[in-house]
Amino acid sequence: MGDSLVIVGDPERAAELERRARSLGYDVSRDDPGESGASRAVAHAPAVILAALGAGDARALMIALRERYGADVPVVLYGRIGSARPELADILELGADRFLHVPLEPAELESALLELVGPAGRARGGGAPARQLDGVDDELLDLEGVREPTRPIRDALVEADVADEIAAAVMEDVAEVLGEAAPDVVMTARLADERVDEVELPEALDGLDELDELDELVAREPTPIQSFVSLGGPARADFVPTQRADAGRRVDAAELDARALEADARSSGSLELLSAAELLVELGEERFTGRLELVLTPDRWRTLWWRDGAVTRARSSDPHDGLLDTLARAGLLGAADVLVGARLIDDARPELGVELLAQASLLKRSERGRALELHAIRCLAPTLSWGDDGGRWTLVPEALGKRGDVGLRARPDVVLLGALQTSWPTEQLRERVGDGAQRPALREPVALEELRARFGLSAGERAWLERLDGLTTLDELVERVTRREHEEHRLLALVYALTLAGHLELRGDAREPAARGGVAIDRARVEERLRLLQTEDYFTALGLERGASRLEVLLAHAELLETFSDERLEPETVARYAARGDASELLALRAALDTARDVLLDDVMRAVYRAHLPPSPDEAARAREGEDE
């Protein structure tokens, strides 16, 4: 059974559903799973089941449907359950995916079918939707004198693709009533409320290919496409479709656009020469719309859909890369949420799945973008190393205005950084970044906030950006800002991502110290004094001997506080540290200075503290002298 929609249940309501679905252009059939022999499983499941509820048991109907069609086919219930609209939990408990309440709202049905099946013309694999002849039939039957064969003609068009012959026959009927010669036109099914549009085809399109969807037929030249020269795509804006052997048929404009784009702008190449990471950057900058196909072997592939330079969804050949698995791994869904989500969504449309999870209150609406980005990262990460194994990429640009776009976007820079952090070990990132003596420097330091937003950086990663000023080597940077191995890994991934995106350069030569600005000098002083307080003893950090008096301690503390006061530091230095809030190194330094002062001023605490310190060089020398004597 290859129908797009199957309608079952209460005859009266099923008839209403059938009429509405056909008016929307969907191919529909009726079935009764309770008939003798009908309970056996079908060979080909439909895209969607529309179940009209009557006086019978809704649960029994759902059981019969699942036995006949399986558990994977979406079910839309239409009718009443009690006196009010059912809650989501009630619908899920029945095993259904949607519920349409009586009376039926056409927009509600259309919305549900768009989400579950897609546009009518695409739902049946390119066949002509039934909608097109309903409008034509209604219009023609109002014309007095039209011959009886009009309705058989309509039925024949639904049954077979003989568009030219039928369109000509219909037009002969119209011409006979009007008393005019049959014009050289093709009927469109995008009918206005009370008229039939007639569109004359341009000469360049005459005699092309068969008509897949009459409702999408528009007589216009194919839209020129933008080629992506930087990615190797040919630049041709003069595409003219060529004639084929079956030149007795016509082609709709949507198919012409698709073929023009396919032949004119499809680009492909080796991932060894242009990596998936580099492609991600290029497509974001080019504001690409279409899909990126990454293939290692026929059974190992990834596909990313793009719109205006942002990722709208991703698909993977690996079943473990599903949306629900990804969100559960990130802690956004619990075990019970995954079970409910599995009955709500289809992993083939993760962006729609994210929206449905938010509507079901399984995700916060503010988390939708992150959820889509996590899924894209999960799908893309393995492809970063496919270049070494002979992987290939293919770009297929697509026309704008595709229906079904829910508006969610994944930022390509976020996906790039996440994939680098996920897929490559620290050693490989070190190899890609290069010599640790290089000094990473942002090309435009003033754009820090923009970079933070574009790459979705955490608070710790945001602080790293300010250190990328070309004054510190990569090795020094790793030593100063990372405390754990995973932090070094994240830092190297950020440096490489910024380099790929063109925001960072790795300089091989150091600048002269005199070229340092006041902010850089302030930061170096803060880091050095904080390092002493964290790694050395309090006496050394305050610049004192271990026998220093209370007065010397107070004076040393006051001098250091003066050096690191807001009045002595550069205004920009103070502003940058203030922006970090409680995590500021400046606040940590001042607190550590106060702690050192308090310990050394208290006689008891000072004695205990000194008892735990190893001997100073002077103390060790005096001890050796005593032993010699």
Query: Is residue 244's pLDDT more than 80?
Result: no
Q: For residue 594, what pLDDT is reported?
A: 93
Which of these ranges, 76-80, 91-95, 445-449, has the smallest mean pLDDT? 91-95
> How many other β-carbons are positioned within 10 Å of the β-carbon of residue 262?
12
Residues 6+ apart with CB under 8 A from 149: 169, 173
Confidence of residue 571 (pLDDT cuts 50, 70, 90): confident
Per-residue pLDDT averaged across 191-200, rounded? Answer: 35
Q: For residue 197, what pLDDT is reported?
A: 37
Query: Is residue 297's pLDDT more than 60?
Result: yes
Q: For residue 599, what pLDDT is reported?
A: 92
State whether residue 459 is helix, strand or coil: helix
Per-residue pLDDT averaged across 121-134, rounded? Answer: 40
Beta strand segments in 446-594, E: 504-507
The model's pLDDT over 477-488, given as tens digits with 9 standing for 90+, comes to 888 777 776 788
Q: Where in the chain is the domain with CATH 1.10.287.110?
A: 515-628
Q: For residue 600, what pLDDT is reported?
A: 92
The model's pLDDT over 318-374, given as tens digits with 9 standing for 90+, comes to 888 888 888 888 888 888 888 888 888 766 678 888 888 888 888 898 888 888 889
Query: Is residue 111's pLDDT more than 70?
Result: yes
Query: Is residue 75's pLDDT more than 70?
Result: yes
Which of these ranges, 47-56, 279-288, 429-438, 515-524, has the smallest mean pLDDT? 515-524
Confidence of residue 626 (pLDDT cuts 50, 70, 90): low
5-123: CATH topology is Rossmann fold (3.40.50)
Q: Which of 313-348 are b and which e, b meaning 16 or more Cβ less than 10 Å from the residue's Cβ? A: bbbbeeeebbbbbbbbeeebbeeebeebbeebbbbe
Confidence of residue 233 (pLDDT cuts 50, 70, 90): very low
Which of these ranges, 147-161, 305-319, 434-448, 592-606, has the smallest mean pLDDT? 147-161
Dist CA 428 CA 421 (whole Å): 11
Which of these ranges, 15-24, 340-349, 372-381, has the smallest mean pLDDT? 340-349
Q: For residue 356, what pLDDT is reported?
A: 85
The model's pLDDT over 28-41, given as tens digits with 9 standing for 90+, comes to 888 877 654 444 55
Q: Regarding predicted confidence, which is higher, 582 or 569?
A: 569
Which of these ranges, 38-42, 133-137, 455-459, 474-478, has the smallest mean pLDDT? 133-137
Residues 6+ apart with CB under 8 A from 567: none
Distance of CA 471 to the CA centre of its chain: 36
Dist CA 233 CA 240 (whole Å): 18
Q: For residue 409, what pLDDT is reported?
A: 82
Q: For residue 595, what pLDDT is reported?
A: 93
Q: For residue 525, what pLDDT is reported?
A: 86
Q: Regarding predicted confidence, which is higher, 103 or 382?
A: 382
Dist CA 258 CA 38 (whole Å): 40
Is the pTM here over 0.75, yes or no?
A: no
C-beta of residue 310 within 8 angstroms of C-beta of residue 284: yes
Most confident of 119-123, 196-200, 621-625: 621-625
Per-residue pLDDT averaged across 241-265, rounded? Answer: 42
Dist CA 249 CA 164 (whole Å): 6
Query: Is residue 80's pLDDT more than 50?
Result: yes
Calculate the average pLDDT of the chain. 71
Q: Where in the chain is the domain with CATH 3.40.50.2300?
A: 5-123
Query: Is residue 451's pLDDT more than 90?
Result: no
Q: For residue 489, what pLDDT is reported?
A: 87
- According to CATH, what is the number of the domain 515-628? 1.10.287.110
The model's pLDDT over 490-512, given as tens digits with 9 standing for 90+, comes to 889 999 999 888 888 888 754 44
Q: First and final CA of the chain: distance in angstroms?
A: 106
Q: Which of 173-186 are b and which e, b meaning 16 or more Cβ less than 10 Å from the residue's Cβ? A: bbeeeeeeeeeebb
Query: Is residue 58's pLDDT more than 90?
Result: no
Beta strand segments in 107-242, E: 186-187, 198-199
Which of these ranges, 491-500, 549-558, 575-584, has the smallest mean pLDDT? 575-584
